[in-house]
Amino acid sequence: MSDYAMIDKEEIYSKVLRAGRRTYFFDVRATKAGDYYLTITESKKFTNDDGSFHYKKHKIYLYKEDFSEFKEILAEMTDYIINEKGEEVISERHQSDYKREDNYSEESSNGSDDSNSFTDISFDDI
């Protein structure tokens, strides 16, 4: 096995960020010339119908000559999102939970406790 193959497999420096179904791997690797670059890998877990699971991975290779601009644009884009939408996570799944909480709090504040009332749910929506 060549020296480069050994260097490529060597973990120079790594960090992991677990975020629900997604895991991000940040790995410093070496070029053939011995310089370093960064790989960012997103790994997403998917469950099959039979209960087994598999992962899909996407990888970005980031070289030193691109670090400065990449960092600037990443900061600009993340700042834009936070400034426009705040830090609260908004998704359909979360919205349905918020609506349910809002409806519950409205019923509680109105004093209406109709135990015979129900919500008609369509399983097509799930």
Instruction: Decide if 8 is inside a domain.
Output: yes
H or E segment to which residue 45 belongs: strand 36-47
| pLDDT classification of 14: cutoffs 50, 70, 90 | very high
Per DSSP bridges, beta strands 22-30 and 13-19 are antiparallel
Mean pLDDT for all residues in the chain: 78
How do residues 57-79 score in pLDDT, each as one tens digit? 999 999 999 999 999 999 999 99
Domain span holding position 37: 3-110
Which strands make up the sheet holding 22-30, listed edge to edge?
Answer: 13-19, 22-30, 36-47, 53-63
Evaluate whether 90 touches 99 at the Cβ level (below 8 Å): no
Instruction: Decide if 97 is inside a domain.
Output: yes
Instruction: Decide if 58 is inside a domain.
Output: yes
Instruction: Decide if 84 is inside a domain.
Output: yes
Cα separation of 93 and 111, whole Å? 28
How do residues 84-119 score in pLDDT, each as one tens digit? 999 988 876 555 544 544 444 444 445 544 445 455
Instruction: Decide if 59 is inside a domain.
Output: yes
| pLDDT classification of 40: cutoffs 50, 70, 90 | very high
CATH code of the domain in which 77 resides: 3.10.450.700
Q: Which residue has the tokens 């359909």?
A: 92
Structural domain count of the chain: 1
Instruction: Decide if 78 is inside a domain.
Output: yes
Instruction: Decide if 116 is inside a domain.
Output: no
User: Within 10 Å of residue 37's Cβ, how many Cβ atoms?
Assistant: 16
